Amino acid sequence: MPSQLIGWTMTPTPVSYEVATAFMAARVEAIAAGTACELIWLLEHPPLYTAGTSAKWDHLLDRERLPVFRSGRGGQFTYHGPGQRVVYLMLDVRARFGDVRAYVAALEHWIIETLAELGIAAQRRQGRIGVWVTEKASPDQPAKIAAIGVRLRRWISSHGVSLNVTPDLAHFAGIVPCGLNEPVTSLARLGKPVPLSEVDAALHRTFSRRLGPVHIFPGDAQHENIQDVQGKAAEA
């Protein structure tokens, strides 16, 4: 069984994608070795595109618009940037959820419950991964508000969820998001431009209620580890 302790931390300044992936990789190994607790990390990235393991390069429509990073997570192209709450989850999937499908479904339900607390009705879609909402202007065409892409190593997860709060949605025009020619939306576009702090509080409440208690780590404590990774990357 996994340790009962799940850490929860937030980094208030944008984190580069290289630093985030290096941090996750190190943490996954430490969790698998039993030398660190599981962790949920809330952050933002500077504007960028990531290409998951199923990405099709003709879905990168504007190659000059933003930096592009290959990613070990599942899925295709997505956008990350300010105003988007990225949540990276480093959890023992086999012990807590049994298999990856149950884990992904749990993440979807978590985001749906979080959005409900913020006054937004959302849903899953059969055969697709992520969370969708219905916009008043296009009631017959659901719009995606949250994407999910995960990676497992030794049954420990990394990567996770991106929830559009107040991002610049124009950047999604540079890709085919998640391989789908469908609209992408945000809380702001739905008339709910709430601060990230309010979203974080709702994420924390619903995670604790649905998936288990967490221990909040001060952001500064995690920053030291993140800065260590960043410094090593700069020296390499």
Active-site residue 178, yes or no? yes
User: Domain map of the chain by residue range?
Assistant: 44-211
Q: For tokens 């099709």, name the residue.
A: 56
Q: Would the CA dihedral through 118, 149, 159, 18 be positive or negative?
A: negative
* Catalytic-role residue among 22, 178, 184, 211: 178
Identify the CA nearest to 187 among candidates 169, 205, 161, 210.
Answer: 169
CATH of 44-211, one of 3.40.50.620, 3.40.1370.10, 3.30.930.10, 3.40.50.300: 3.30.930.10
Per-residue pLDDT of the chain (236 residues; tens, 9 = 90+): 455 789 999 999 999 999 999 999 999 999 999 999 999 999 999 999 999 999 999 999 999 999 999 999 999 999 999 999 999 999 999 999 999 999 999 999 999 999 999 999 999 999 999 999 998 777 778 999 999 999 999 999 999 999 999 999 999 999 999 888 889 999 999 999 999 999 999 999 999 998 889 998 876 445 556 555 444 434 43
Residues whose CB is less than 8 angstroms from the CB of residue 229 and which lie 6 or more positions away in sequence, other chains included: 19, 22, 23, 26
Alpha carbon of 165 to those of 12, 23, 112, 217: distances in Å?
A: 15, 24, 14, 23
Phi, psi of 38 (to 5 degrees): -60, 155
